[in-house]
Amino acid sequence: MTVRAAVVLAAGEGTRLRPLTRNRPKPMLPAADRPILEHVFDALISAGIERLHVVVGYKRDRVQDHFGPTYRNLPINYVHQDKQLGSGHALLQAREAVDDEDGFLVVNGDQVIERRMVADVLAAFEDDDASATLAVTEQADVSHYGGVVMDGERVTELVEKPDTDDYRLLNAGVYAFAPTIFDAIAETPRVQGELALTDTLVRLIEAEADTVDNDVAVRGVTTEGLWVDATYPWDLLDVSRELLLDARVTEPEREESVWVADSATVHDDATLQGPVVVGPDTEVRPGAVVGPFAALGRNATVGENAVVAESVLDTDARVGPNATLLDCVTGQGVSLGANSTVPGGPGDVRVDDRVFADQRLGAVLADRVTAEGSVNVAPGTLVGPNATLHTGVTVSENVTEYAEVFR
Amino acid sequence: MCGIIGCTGRAEDTLDVLLSGLEGLEYRGYDSAGVALANGSLEICKRQGELDRLQQAVGNSLRGPVGIGHTRWSTHGPPTDANAHPHTDCTGNVAVVHNGIIENYDELKAELHARGHEFESDTDTEVVPHLIEAALAEGASFEAAFREAVSRLEGSYALAAVTADTEAILATRHDSPLVLGVGDDAAYLASDVPAFLEYTDRVVYLEDDDFARLESGAWTVTDADGQLLDKSVSRVEWDAEETAKSGYDHYMLKEIHEQPRALRKCLRGRVDELTGSIQVDSLEGLSPSSVQFVACGTSYHAALYGAQTLRDAGIPAQAFLASEYATAPAPVGDDALVVGVTQSGETADTLSALREAQRRGVETLAMTNVVGSTATRECDRTLLIRAGPEIGVAATKTFSSQVVACNLLAATIADRGDSREIVEALRDLPGQVQELLDASRAESVAKRFVDSEGYFFIGRGHHHPVALEGALKMKEITYKHAEGFPAGELKHGPLALVTDQTPVFAVVTGDGEEATKTVGNVKEVEARDAPVVAVTDGASDASRYAEAVLEIPETHPQVAPVLANVQLQLVAYHVANELGRSIDKPRNLAKSVTVE
């Protein structure tokens, strides 16, 4: 059997990444110079996938607008999930699209993976009896993910968000299935109205454990290779850092670890300190210092003598003269006036009622935040979409959507 | 009208290629379709209505090494099976497909009739196969007969013909587009590249009065005297798959959402904020003393905008409807420039107007979306708007890109050195369109006013073309009555039409004199109980008098029309969607109007 089809799950918002997900789903957030989902597509295509089915839901127009009908000449079939009722439910929406396949891949669209992980799962699935297969990878902290226990290649335990630290292996969210998975999902009882794909896998494991023969219900394939995920907004800094270190950037490399798009303009008197990537149509003005570990998206401007380091600036960012941005994540269309300063982490970040102490985060500035001149943002601050920080303001607490902050 | 496809060298696949080619041409609009395949005899199938009907009728039965196909949009005679192309002669051995209008067909038909030829359709096209038949009867070869027939025609045409007993397609064009597609062992022929893009991206553009012969997968092009021409093969970059809807219900909504991307492409490499300069290679050295725009439909509204923008920059400029200009051109001074604005580059009226300008020795510029189109080949200069393929018949993203291109043109011609402000505004524009799309309330406004009797649109200055375009979009896809007016004109007549059943969309941005005056006009209609929808950046108090507000981000006054127009595109789309209209292919309309 040869598997050539993949279902990519890209319908969920990724609520823990708010306020960055106000206008787009997590798969469309920036990972170095392009959206997370592009890295996922690249991994699939280089592993030989030829038919792409993408389940879209939350703010699906953003996925559709970015990729259009094709990616790297492969047609994309968009499947709609109108209500986000879990990963199993999302996969069920694609049933019609892949029911004629002998087998197909399923991957999360919101975690960066690489070719090897996909290839390992495909090889194991294709060589054998086509039982459900998933990629397993070793990570230091498994607590936000699915913990896996294996006996040989057999997965014996699958625990979502384990609260003990006995687990070292996690479910990487790369699966291969035969179409029989759809009946198994349909038979899985909903939990609070939702169908999680892992609930179905747990049922398969448990059902097999009750039988006498020794079949493998769910097989795990231990694989290495790059696997990075952002749980919280500040994780996007680590994601980009990893990708820059691994040179997973598409723009042309101007000198070592300095990638600059052909249509970008970098003034001769500006300094790029690698690793750094400068996106299409972006302008870097005289005296500016960008990098290390800076990713500038499309059509951004970094003003005269501004400093941007350890930061991810998304599409249409405007950084004024003499501004300083350290450890900063911005959404799209963010504008930071002259002399504004985000001095960088560590700082305590408050998300709802939880406080994450000493995170390396300067600030998260969501889509279209406008900071006028000489604004100061204290470490760990989250600023909501379309908020305006007026001249001379110092913000040290989270700012809500559309808020106007005066001195 | 409207689409031609032909192929040779595809053996058993001929029928499939023709049918998929016709699908690729669907977006141009059509009301009937047909195919003819030659394999010793001619097998023809044609049907009035959607392509599905043709596909059902034709089944899988037709075979032959060569074939031609056609989608028709009625000009002479109603849409019927008989009037659908291909048309044949009395013997049934010659089949012809045709785009354009044969102006002397009455005369030719009478002559042929007198010589005993029988006609089955009301079309102008049918004279062509009979003319070929007549020449064949006198012993001419197929090619000689085809040339003989073509020499009798007056008017505009792209023609392709097959006979029962040759394995060749003969084709020619005059004032109507036709391109060859070059495959590995196959050759294709079409009025438009998307018809064969699935099979090849190598194309040969035919010039007027070129003759093409496609046989056994090979092709040759000769001139009117039969001399072999050395034609260059070029590659087209458009991806066939881009014709798909990428998850949207309609191409129109997909194309509205593509505007941020399209605008980024239009601006790429042409603006530099650091130096405040705008540079377009193809416009280098251009410094006319006056400018005349010629255009039709939506492109005319972009032309009105362009003329005003040039006037603001101190350059005398006017916009003319191309169909009027072609027969009644305005006088031009020395060093004038005539700009033809046409999405397809094939709009017959605009091409006529441009030719009229060239006849008078005036420099011409084509502002178009289609590389290699007739307008780009005939004009002295080309300014590409780079919007990418637009399939929805109602133009959306191409209008926005045309408006941005007008700014590039105005800045280049006026050359006031530092254009920093406008460059900054243009660079911000794609993101602002995205912001608007993320938050637009157009759908709820559309639902609220879907049952209204009619819609009026008003705007002043740069927003006047937006008012006209907003009304045109509404007419085109909702089939409801809509008119746009300069805001100040309302009280000079149209106000009599305003009632509580006619919402008035008022486009007002900034808080300057124009805005103040338009707000005055808003009060006039509000006093007559008309519901007002303010399309505004919130700088004036227009929304105080409005029942609904469509917000746009604040920007440079010259760029605001693009944003206001996107809101109105969305309103028209959602009204049409509520009414269940055929949004991508509205009745009676074609994407690119290649007849005058």
Residue A304's CATH number: 2.160.10.10
**Residue B174: which of B374, B460, B456 has the closest Cα?**
B374
**Residue B306: which of B178, B165, B401 has the closest Cα?**
B401
Cβ under 8 Å to A: B residues 370-389: none
One domain for residues A264 and A215: no
**Three-state SS letters, B88-108:** ECCCCCEEEEEEEEECCHHHH
Q: Do B428 and A316 touch (CB under 8 A)?
A: yes
CATH topology of domain B2-242: Glutamine Phosphoribosylpyrophosphate, subunit 1, domain 1 (3.60.20)
Examine the pLDDT at B400 and tell me if it is beyond 90: yes
Helix (H, G, I), strand (E, B) or coil at B150: helix
pLDDT, residue A34, reads 93
CA–CA dist B410, B426 (Å, integer): 13
Structure letter (DSSP) for residue A217: S
Residue A16's CATH number: 3.90.550.10
Active-site amino acid positions of B:
2, 591
Give the distance from CA B402 to its chain's centroid. 13
**Residue B442: which of B485, B473, B397 has the closest Cα?**
B473
Cβ under 8 Å to A: B residues 203-262: 239, 241-248, 254, 257-258, 260-261
Phi/psi for B447 (5° steps) reads -65, -35
Helices (H), A225-375: 235-245
Q: Do B267 and A69 touch (CB under 8 A)?
A: no
- Confidence band for B276, pLDDT divided at 50, 70 and 90: confident
Which residues are registered as beta bridge partners of A283? A265, A301
Cβ under 8 Å to A: B residues 411-430: 427-428, 430
Please indicate, yes or no, if residue A207 is contained in any of the structural domains: yes
Examine the pLDDT at B238 and tell me if it is beyond 60: no
The chain A residues in contact with chain B (CB within 8 A) are 23, 56, 60-61, 63-65, 67-70, 73, 75-76, 78, 80, 263, 265, 267, 280-281, 283, 285, 298-299, 301, 315-316, 332-333, 367-368
Global confidence as pTM: 0.81
CA–CA dist B2, B593 (Å, integer): 8
- Pairing of the two strands A289-290 and A271-272: parallel
Q: Do B435 and A333 touch (CB under 8 A)?
A: yes
Q: Which domain holds residue A58?
A: 5-222
Cβ under 8 Å to A: B residues 438-497: 438
Chain B closest CA to A333's CA: distance in Å? 6
Estimate the crossing angle of helix B560-578 against helix B397-414, to 10 degrees: 170
The pair of three-digit structure tokens given for residue B321, joined into one six-digit string = 């409807």
One domain for residues A287 and A391: yes
What value does the mean pLDDT take over residues B30-57? Answer: 87
Nearest CB partner across the interface for B257, out of A65, A285, A299: A65
What value does the mean pLDDT take over residues B466-475? Answer: 97
Chain A closest CA to B268's CA: distance in Å? 7
**Residue A398: which of A360, A343, A350, A361 has the closest Cα?**
A350
Residue where one domain finishes, among candidates A188, A222, A256: A222
Q: pLDDT tens, A336-368?
A: 999 999 998 799 999 888 999 999 999 999 999
Nearest CB partner across the interface for B242, out of A68, A80, A298: A68
User: What are the residue ranges spanned by the domains of chain B?
Assistant: 2-242, 244-429, 440-596
Nearest CB partner across the interface for A265, out of B243, B274, B437: B274
User: What average pLDDT is seen over chain B?
Assistant: 91
Please indicate, yes or no, if residue A229 is contained in any of the structural domains: no
Q: Is B440-596 a CATH 3.40.50.10490 domain?
A: yes
Helices (H), A128-263: 180-187, 197-209, 235-245
One domain for residues A257 and A200: no
pLDDT, residue B146, reads 96
Nearest CA in chain A to B269: A263
Dihedral angle computed from the Cα positions of residues A58, A64, A66 and A70, in that order, rounded to the nearest 10 degrees = 140
- Confidence band for B149, pLDDT divided at 50, 70 and 90: very high
pLDDT, residue B80, reads 85
CATH superfamily of B244-429: Glucose-6-phosphate isomerase like protein; domain 1 (3.40.50.10490)
Query: Cβ contacts (< 8 Å) between B237 and chain A: which residues?
Result: none
Nearest CB partner across the interface for A281, out of B247, B268, B434: B268
Chain B closest CA to A363's CA: distance in Å? 22
Q: Do B239 and A285 touch (CB under 8 A)?
A: no
One domain for residues A182 and A39: yes
Q: pLDDT tens, B98-147?
A: 988 898 999 999 999 999 999 999 889 999 999 999 999 999 999 999 99
> Contacts for A352-361 with beta carbons within 8 Å, 24 or more apart?
A356/A232, A356/A380, A359/A234, A360/A234, A360/A237, A360/A327, A361/A233, A361/A234, A361/A237, A361/A327, A361/A329
One domain for residues A98 and A21: yes
The pair of three-digit structure tokens given for residue B480, joined into one six-digit string = 């409801």
**Residue B397: which of B269, B267, B577, B261 has the closest Cα?**
B261
Chain B closest CA to A399's CA: distance in Å? 20
One domain for residues A286 and A332: yes
Please indicate, yes or no, if residue A230 is contained in any of the structural domains: no
Q: pLDDT tens, A69-118?
A: 878 767 788 999 999 999 999 999 999 888 878 899 999 999 999 999 99
One domain for residues A155 and A17: yes
Dihedral angle computed from the Cα positions of residues B586, B591, B592 and B596, in that order, rounded to the nearest 10 degrees = 0
Q: Do B267 and A280 touch (CB under 8 A)?
A: no
Helix (H, G, I), strand (E, B) or coil at B383: strand
Across A164-168, A220-224, B96-100, least confident range: A164-168
Q: Do B430 and A64 touch (CB under 8 A)?
A: no
One domain for residues A256 and A335: yes
Nearest CB partner across the interface for A64, out of B248, B272, B427: B248
One domain for residues A196 and A239: no
B244-429 has the same fold as B2-242: no
Residue where one domain finishes, among candidates A190, A222, A254: A222
Q: Do A368 and B247 touch (CB under 8 A)?
A: no
Give the H or E element holding residue B578: helix B560-578
Neighbours of A227 (CB within 10 A): 21
Chain B closest CA to A97's CA: distance in Å? 14
pLDDT, residue B237, reads 59
Neighbours of B401 (CB within 10 A): 28
Nearest CA in chain A to B432: A333
Q: Do B246 and A76 touch (CB under 8 A)?
A: yes
CA–CA dist B256, B253 (Å, integer): 5
> Is A68 in contact with A77 (CB distance < 8 Å)?
no
**Interface residue of A51, A53, A64, A388 to substitute, partner B, most B CBs within 10 Å:** A64
Torsion sign (Cα): B117, B123, B124, B130:
negative
CA distances from A9 to A83, A111, A175, A230 (A): 13, 10, 11, 16
CA–CA dist A403, A389 (Å, integer): 8
One domain for residues A34 and A174: yes
Beta strands (DSSP E) in B112-201 are 155-163, 168-174, 179-182, 187-190
Q: Do B428 and A64 touch (CB under 8 A)?
A: no
Nearest CB partner across the interface for A64, out of B243, B247, B432: B247
Q: Do A68 and B431 touch (CB under 8 A)?
A: no
Q: Which residues contact A352 (CB under 8 A, 6 or more apart)?
A: none
Query: Cβ contacts (< 8 Å) between B438 and chain A: which residues?
Result: 23, 367
Please indicate, yes or no, if residue A331 is contained in any of the structural domains: yes
Number of domains in chain A: 2
> Is A27 in contact with A63 (CB distance < 8 Å)?
yes
Query: Cβ contacts (< 8 Å) between A367 and chain B: which residues?
Result: 435, 438
Radius of gyration over every alpha carbon of chain B, rounded to an integer in angstroms: 25
Please indicate, yes or no, if residue A148 is contained in any of the structural domains: yes
The rounded percent of chain B whose pLDDT value lies above 70 is 97
The rounded percent of chain B whose pLDDT value lies above 90 is 68
What value does the mean pLDDT take over residues A223-236? Answer: 89
List b or e across A370-398, with b for residues whose CB sees 16 or more CB atoms inside 10 angstroms.
bbbbbbbbebbbbbbbbbbbbeebebeeb
One domain for residues A148 and A241: no
One domain for residues A265 and A203: no
Q: pLDDT tens, B345-376?
A: 989 999 999 999 999 999 999 999 987 788 99
